Amino acid sequence: MKVLSVASECVPFVKTGGLADVVGALPRVMGQAGVEMRVMLPGYPGVMRAIGKAKTVLEESDLFGGAGRVVAAKAAGIDLLVLDAPHLFERDGSLYTGPGGTDWADNPERFAALSWMAARVAMEGAGKWRPDILHGHDWQAGFAPYYLKKQGSALPTILTIHNIAFHGLAPRDKLSTLRLDPADFVQDGGFEFWGQVDALKAGLVWSDKITTVSPTYARELTRPEFGAGLHGVIEARASDLAGILNGIDTEAWDPTTDPLIAAPFKTPRGKARNKAALRWEFGLPEAGGPLCVVVSRLTEQKGLDLLIEALPALVDQGGQLILLGTGEAKLEAAFRKAAHHENVAVHIGYDEGLSHRLIAGADAILVPSRFEPCGLTQLYALRYGTIPLVSLTGGLADTVIPANPAALAKGVATGIQINPLTSHALALGLLDLCTLYQDKATWARMQRNAMAQPVGWEASAAAYARLYHEVATPA
């Protein structure tokens, strides 16, 4: 079984969020499940540097404003197909925005080009390698199933939704530029969305199967409050929709061998040195309550505006908070102000090593997201015996066993869940966290439960393998 995985980012080459972690992990875990996967990426400068010399396997003289080629290479153990199109990808700024922070005006063309060339690879192959399935990720690969079907290809396609909030919209006047049939610019059965072209919707309509990154998120996407205007499309495709949980790299995130933390450990007791080192690093005093951390983008999606309002409930009980993240200016400012308290520390920015130290040394991690397709930080936290406090949504609901009376009586709880998500409910959850922390026997049991949870890719890889075989051999 050969699968072409098409995405806009992939660890360790380029990353803005969890999408990259998943795309980078899949080739290895699927290889163990008997699936040969190649990842197709845009040729950003960092990607081109990482691959060095590469073999051209496909060329296009007119690729949305210039020439482009697909090159094959292997780097960091991943078989790559890279779209080398300097007029689209060789530029300063981030993946999707320019130096000023606004979206590149030609983002529709940039990722239509990725989809176009992915469709060509699917139909023509890359050298001697020909995929059996095309698996696209998010809106950046949304047009690939469309281009394939419009050119008469029967190659099976799958689209995975990592975050439905981003659609990849383009104005209607770009229809011909994007090589789209105007007849498909319709609301029902097409890619029209409130008068604009919607790349994600194209993928949802024309792909053979749709997946997303947790069972709960799959159900949520059929509801108006979560579906970002596409809930009707997804509900109509419900029989073709599957929710498959993400896993994490359990080698990179292993408390027994992690080189990025102060002291590797095998049991919850071993966290003590990491906690002491963390307090010293951030100048926090000893305290009687739990040391909590946040490792997150600072956005309202993540519920961090509610955490600002609820924070007194934690620090008044002797709890502490260290936050690592960057994002919306108003939230950055709010947390900088909160850090005037002696038991609150803030690091604006991102640092991979620091994220490991925070999760290893903390008692608890706070993830009060308004919606969360899967979430990875709570999985990292479970692996390190760091108790997650999460909202009851998406993958957070699927991966954390709440400390309700039944779960505590059976000794299976791994965290705390907040529902409904309001600042008041979050404050009550923080008070519950502080109370549980004072019950040392119960807290230690929760930590042991957390560290025993399966958070790797084994079950998910098997689910993807079954899906690939199902879509490749339809009844």
What does the alpha-carbon distance between residue 377 and residue 375 come to, in Å, rounded to a whole number? Answer: 6
Assign 82 to helix, strand or coil: strand
Average confidence (pLDDT) over 342-352: 95
Q: Are residues 284 and 232 in the same domain?
A: no
The number of CA neighbours under 13 Å toward the Cβ of 199 is 30
**pLDDT at position 475, please?**
60
Q: What percent of the chain has pLDDT over 70?
A: 100
Q: Are residues 193 and 290 in the same domain?
A: no
Q: Are residues 146 and 274 in the same domain?
A: no
Other CB atoms within a 10 A radius of the CB of residue 290 amount to 25
Q: Are residues 279 and 377 in the same domain?
A: yes
Residue 262: pLDDT band by 50, 70, 90 thresholds? Answer: very high
Give tens-digit pLDDT for 354-363. 999 999 999 9
Q: Are residues 202 and 329 in the same domain?
A: no
Average confidence (pLDDT) over 21-41: 94
**pLDDT at position 94, please?**
87
**pLDDT at position 101, please?**
81
**pLDDT at position 401, please?**
98
255 domain-assigned: no
93 domain-assigned: yes
Residue 99: pLDDT band by 50, 70, 90 thresholds? Answer: confident
User: Does the reported pTM lie above 0.85?
Assistant: yes
Beta-bridged to residue 387, according to DSSP, are 364
Q: Are residues 25 and 6 in the same domain?
A: yes
Structure tokens at 405: 């009376």
Residue 131's alpha-carbon distances to 5, 6, 29, 152, 155, in angstroms, are 10, 12, 18, 16, 9
Q: What letters, b where the CB count within 10 A reaches 16 and e where it falls short, cover 72-109?
A: bbebeebbbbbbbbebbbeeeeebbeeeeeeebebbbb
**pLDDT at position 205, please?**
98
Average confidence (pLDDT) over 414-423: 97
Q: Are residues 68 and 129 in the same domain?
A: yes
pLDDT of residue 152 exceeding 70 = yes
Number of domains in the chain: 2
Q: Are residues 183 and 107 in the same domain?
A: yes
Expressed as residue numbers, the domain containing 101 is 2-247+458-472
Average pLDDT, the chain: 96
Nearest alpha carbon to residue 268 among 345, 364, 409, 356:
364
Residue 73's alpha-carbon distances to 22, 42, 211, in angstroms, are 20, 13, 28
Q: Are residues 323 and 355 in the same domain?
A: yes
Q: Tell me, what amino acid is at 227?
A: G
Average confidence (pLDDT) over 265-284: 97
Strand-strand pairing, 387-391 and 241-243: unpaired
CB of 278 closer than 8 Å to CB of 362: yes
258 domain-assigned: no
The number of CA neighbours under 13 Å toward the Cβ of 20 is 14
Cα four-point dihedral sign 322, 324, 328, 332: positive
252 domain-assigned: no
**pLDDT at position 100, please?**
81
Residue 93: pLDDT band by 50, 70, 90 thresholds? Answer: confident
312 domain-assigned: yes
261 domain-assigned: no
**pLDDT at position 138, please?**
98
Q: Are residues 318 and 304 in the same domain?
A: yes
Report the CATH number at residue 386: 3.40.50.2000
389 domain-assigned: yes
Residue with tokens 């397709």: 373
Residue with tokens 């199902």: 470
Strand-strand pairing, 416-418 and 344-348: unpaired
Give tens-digit pLDDT for 286-340. 999 999 999 999 999 999 999 999 999 999 999 999 999 999 999 999 999 999 9
Q: Are residues 132 and 57 in the same domain?
A: yes
What does the alpha-carbon distance between residue 365 and residue 292 come to, in Å, rounded to a whole number? Answer: 5
53 marked among binding-site residues = no
281 domain-assigned: yes
Kindly report the CA angle at 108 between 219 and 199, in degrees rounded to 5?
25
- Burial-class residue 173 by CB neighbours within 10 Å (0-12, 13-18, 19+): exposed
Average confidence (pLDDT) over 438-448: 98
CB of 51 closer than 8 Å to CB of 39: no
Q: Are residues 165 and 63 in the same domain?
A: yes
